Amino acid sequence: MTSTTVAAVDLGATSGRVMLGRVSDDGIRLEESARFETGAVRRVDGWHWDFAQIFRHLRSGLRTAARTERLDAVGVDAWAVDYGLVRNAALLGEPFHYRDDRTERAIEWVHDRVAPAELFERNGLQFLPFNTLYQLAAERLGSRFSARIDRAERILLIPDLVAALLTGVEASERTNASTTGLLNATTLNWDDDLLHRLDLKRELFAPLVDPGTEIAPLADAGGAPLFTVGSHDTASAVVGVPATDPDFAYVSCGTWGLAGLELDAPVLTEAAREARFTNELGVDGRVRFLHNVMGLWILNECLRCWRAQDGTADLGMLLEQASNVDACVPLFNVDDPSFLPPGDMPARIDEWFASRGRRAPAGRAEVVRSIIESLAQAFADTIETAAALTGRAVSVIHVVGGGSRNDLLCRSLADRSGRRVLAGPSEATALGNVLVQARAIGAVTGSLDALRAFAARSFAPRTFEPRLKSTR
C-alpha cells in the first residue's frame, strides 16, 4: 500500500474541521488542517445556522489542505435532520437550526395524517420534535416560510448541500437520508406514499446514493474527487469505532450522545418505539439501533452561562473538582425536553429538581458531577435496554467522540453499566470519514469489520474496568 492522503470535512454542532487523513501500511494518521466555529445564531424568525460563514470556512480549509499536499479524495459529514432549500443551484435563505421551536404545531399536523405507530413502522425513527419531516411540515404551515418550500426545486441535507454547492451535483446520501423520517426503513428508498400524505413533492428529493460513491472533482481541493461517506456524522463515527469484539455497544458522545448497537436489520417493534429507539442506516447497509441522549450539550450550556456570568468556568478545573464530589449526587433526566433549547441551563436544572420537590445539586462542582453521573446512567440504561430489545449480549462499550476524553464520564459509565469501557478515539467521525474514502479509492480493502481492525492498529483505546456498583 502506498501512502494516500484524503481530506475529511467534519461539521459538528459547535465546530467544524478539515482533517487530513494519511493512510499507509503503518496505519492512519489524522492531522487537523483547519477548525472553525459553527453553532446556532438567533435571527428575527428563530434559530438558524450561519451557513454562508460555515461554507466560507470549509472552502478555505479545503484550499489550505490542498496547498499542504496533494489530496487523493475528499468526504463531507455533518449533523443530521437540517436542510437547505435550493432553487437554480442557490440557497433559499439560511437553514433553520434543529433547536428552533417552530415544529410545535407541525407535530400535531403530521400525526393527524400519519399516526406515530405507523410512522415508526415506516421509518423506524425515535420521535424527536426536530426530525426533518416535522421541520418540513412547519415550512408548509408557517405563513412566513411556505413560499420557500413552494419555490424550492430541491431539499438537501447539510452534507448534500455542501456537496451540491461545491460540485453542482445534487444527490442524497442514504445514511443521512435515513434521519429525515421520509426514508422507508424496509425498502431503503424515499417513501412515496408518506411524501404524498405529507404534501411533499417527490421531485424535491434528490436521487439516493450510498457511502463510497464518487460525485465529482473539487476545484477547491486541487481537483481531488469528492466521495460520499457516512455523511451523517454518527454514521461515520460508528465506522471509526475501533472494535475487535463483535459484542460491542457504542456511545458517540459530543453535543449529542448516541448510544446503541450495530445490527444487520431494523427493529420495528412496538416495544422499540415505546422505548424511543431509532433505526438509522450505517455504512455497508448496517443499522444503527440507538437512542439519542441529550449529551454534553447540557454541560456545555452550563459552561457558557457561567462564563457569561464571571468568565471563570474552566472545564478542566471543574471536572477535577467534580471528581472529588461524592458520586451519590442527585440525578436528573437528561432527556427532559426542557433541556433542548439554548438558554440558562443551570437554572433549568434547578427548576427540574424544584418541580419534583427534590434537592438540586449545590455549587458548580456538584452540578458538573450531577450532569456527568446522570449522563452515564442514561447511557448505561440505554445500552441495557438495547440489549434486551434485540436479545444481543454486550461485553464492552466503546466511547468515541469528545466525550471519550472525559475520564470521569467513562469511569462512571463503566461503574454504572458493569461493563468494560474502551475510550477513544476522540476524532472517530473524521476517522470513519477517512476510512470510507480510503476504501473507495482502493487505499484499503475489506469489510467494515476489516476497516475497524485496521483503525484499531492506529488508535488504541484507553480501558476503564467496572468497579463494584454502588451508585445505580
The tens digit of pLDDT for each residue in 445-454 reads 999 999 999 9
Q: Which cell is 430 given?
A: 473524521
Q: Is 90 exceeded by the pLDDT of residue 18? A: yes
- Written as one string, the DSSP assignment of 128-155 is -TTSHHHHHHHHHH-TTTHHHHHH-SEE
**Alpha-carbon dihedral angle through residues 122, 254, 416, 129, given to the nearest 10 degrees:** -40
Res. 141 pLDDT band, cuts 50 70 90? confident
Helices (H), 224-343: 233-239, 270-274, 297-310, 315-323
What is the mean predicted confidence (pLDDT) over 429-450? 97
Contact partners, residue 334, CB within 8 Å, separation at least 6: 293, 294, 298, 371, 374, 375, 378
Whether the CB-CB separation of 270 and 278 falls below 8 Å is answered with no
The pLDDT value given to residue 90: 93
Q: What is the mean pLDDT of the chain?
A: 95
Closest CA to 257 of 341, 383, 359: 383
Per-residue pLDDT of 181-225, as tens digits, reads 999 999 999 999 999 999 999 999 999 999 999 999 999 999 999
What is the mean predicted confidence (pLDDT) over 254-282? 97
What is the mean predicted confidence (pLDDT) over 223-238? 97
The pLDDT value given to residue 140: 85
Cα separation, 5 vs 437, whole angstroms: 10
Three-state DSSP class for residue 165: helix
Whether the CB-CB separation of 261 and 278 falls below 8 Å is answered with no
Closest CA to 436 of 286, 312, 275: 286
What is the mean predicted confidence (pLDDT) over 66-74? 95
Q: Is 90 exceeded by the pLDDT of residue 466? A: yes
Closest CA to 24 of 438, 430, 405: 438
Res. 468 pLDDT band, cuts 50 70 90? low
Q: Let me know if the fold of 4-227 is the same as that of 242-472.
A: yes
Per-residue pLDDT of 322-339, as tens digits, reads 999 988 999 999 999 999
Other CB atoms within a 10 A radius of the CB of residue 472 amount to 10
Is the N-terminal amide bond of 361 cis, ω within 30° of 0?
Answer: no
- Angle, CA 50 vertex, CA 47 and CA 52 arms, to 5°: 150
- Is the domain spanning 242-472 CATH 3.30.420.40? The answer is yes
- Is the domain spanning 4-227 CATH 3.30.420.40? The answer is yes
What is the mean predicted confidence (pLDDT) over 377-382? 98
Q: Which cell is 365 given?
A: 462542582
Percentage of the chain surpassing pLDDT 90?
89
Higher-scoring residue by pLDDT: 80, 142: 80
Whether the CB-CB separation of 417 and 382 falls below 8 Å is answered with no
The pLDDT value given to residue 238: 97
Whole-Å CA distances, 186 to 203, 208, 226, 278: 21, 15, 28, 14
Whether the CB-CB separation of 472 and 381 falls below 8 Å is answered with no
Domain ranges, ordered by start, for the chain: 4-227, 242-472
The pLDDT value given to residue 472: 40
CA 275 to chain centre: 20
Closest CA to 383 of 457, 466, 301: 466
Which residues are marked as active site? 233
Q: Is 70 exceeded by the pLDDT of residue 75? A: yes
Q: Is 90 exceeded by the pLDDT of residue 147? A: no
Cα separation, 234 vs 231, whole angstroms: 8
Q: Is 60 exceeded by the pLDDT of residue 456? A: yes
Cα separation, 94 vs 112, whole angstroms: 29
pTM score of the predicted model: 0.93
Closest CA to 436 of 447, 420, 422: 447
The pLDDT value given to residue 115: 97
The pLDDT value given to residue 104: 87
